[in-house]
């Protein structure tokens, strides 16, 4: 898929500097940046969803010791 985006001059300069420093092509650096950024956003939204479940009482927070007990790992 091909996408066109407008980068701020600062972001463009940073990207070009990194490409020059690493010898990596711009498209590869952009792809890596999007992959890592998307992973971070997905993690953030998963954490928000978990927090909402905890706040609503749908889920609970338990200690590691309690989890071990529930899993039968407490020896």
Q: Is the pTM of this model over 0.75?
A: no
Quick: pLDDT tens for 21-65: 999 999 999 999 999 999 999 999 999 999 999 999 999 999 999
Q: How many residues does the chain have?
A: 75
In a domain, 4, yes or no: no
In a domain, 56, yes or no: yes
In a domain, 59, yes or no: yes
Q: Is 44 helix (H, G, I), strand (E, B) or coil?
A: helix
Domain that holds residue 23: 9-70
- Report the alpha-carbon distance of residue 66 to residue 74 in Å, rounded: 9
| Total of domains in the chain | 1
1: pLDDT strictly greater than 90: no
Q: Which two tokens stand for residue 41?
A: 């956003």
In a domain, 33, yes or no: yes
């Amino acid at each position: 898929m091909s996408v066109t985006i407008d980068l701020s001059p600062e972001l463009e300069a940073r990207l070009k500097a990194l490409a020059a420093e690493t010898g990596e092509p711009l498209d590869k650096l952009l792809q890596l940046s999007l992959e890592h950024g998307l992973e971070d956003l997905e993690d953030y939204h998963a954490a928000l969803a978990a927090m909402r479940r905890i706040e609503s009482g749908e889920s609970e927070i338990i200690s590691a010791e309690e989890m071990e007990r529930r899993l039968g790992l407490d020896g």
